[in-house]
Amino acid sequence: MAINAERGGRLKSAISLLGAEVKDASVNSCKEHIKRGLIDAVAGMFAGEYVDSTIAHGRKDSSAVRITTAFKRLIFAEYKTLKKPSSYASALNISTPYLNEAVKEISGQTVSYWIQNMIMFEAKRLLIYTDKTIKAIAYELGYADYVYFSKMFIGMVKMSPGAFRKKYR
């Protein structure tokens, strides 16, 4: 797997920073969160590189790859406003079943899975690193009904947003 110079530099910086944090023996209540965040970042960077290199080998021109790549870009830009697979399909000018088929072929997961994962990832980040209320976080993520957001969070994370914050903060 070859990594371009810019991405390689960012990955090297993240690994160096993680190494420095691991070696730092000082006691700080934020240390574990920082380490966990850096580990997640490095793992995410490696995973992204792996996915990109896997896609690049042999199936670069397939429509499923092009659709999945477009969906990937769109979800990062619009996850706070677009919640339904049909909204993403419409934005990409394709049918919902075709979008789901293409994304599942390339990633192994459905469009709904990726939408919910993106929302939960950001919700977790906001719960850990901000003092925003659960209601404010729900609203920021595009949910006017924070009770619905909380139920969705519990369904996916297996604990309430408040319990998650208390456990990981």
- Host H or E run for residue 45: helix 31-56
**pLDDT value at position 4?**
67
* Same domain, yes or no: 114 and 40: no
Which of 57, 72, 99 is where one domain is finished? 57
State the pLDDT confidence band at 2, using cuts at 50, 70 and 90: low
Choose the weakest-confidence range: 14-23, 132-141, 147-156. Answer: 14-23
**pLDDT value at position 139?**
96
| Residue 127 pLDDT > 90 | yes
* Same domain, yes or no: 113 and 69: yes
**pLDDT value at position 159?**
95
* Same domain, yes or no: 83 and 96: yes
- Rounded Cα–Cα distance for residues 63 and 70 (Å): 10
* Same domain, yes or no: 67 and 150: yes
* Same domain, yes or no: 79 and 106: yes
* Same domain, yes or no: 91 and 167: yes
* Same domain, yes or no: 39 and 89: no
150 C-beta neighbours (distance < 10 Å), count: 19
- Rounded Cα–Cα distance for residues 169 and 165 (Å): 6
Residue that wins the pLDDT comparison between 49 and 128: 128
- Rounded Cα–Cα distance for residues 11 and 110 (Å): 28
Residue that wins the pLDDT comparison between 44 and 29: 44
Full domain range(s) for residue 37: 1-57
Number of domains comprising the chain:
2
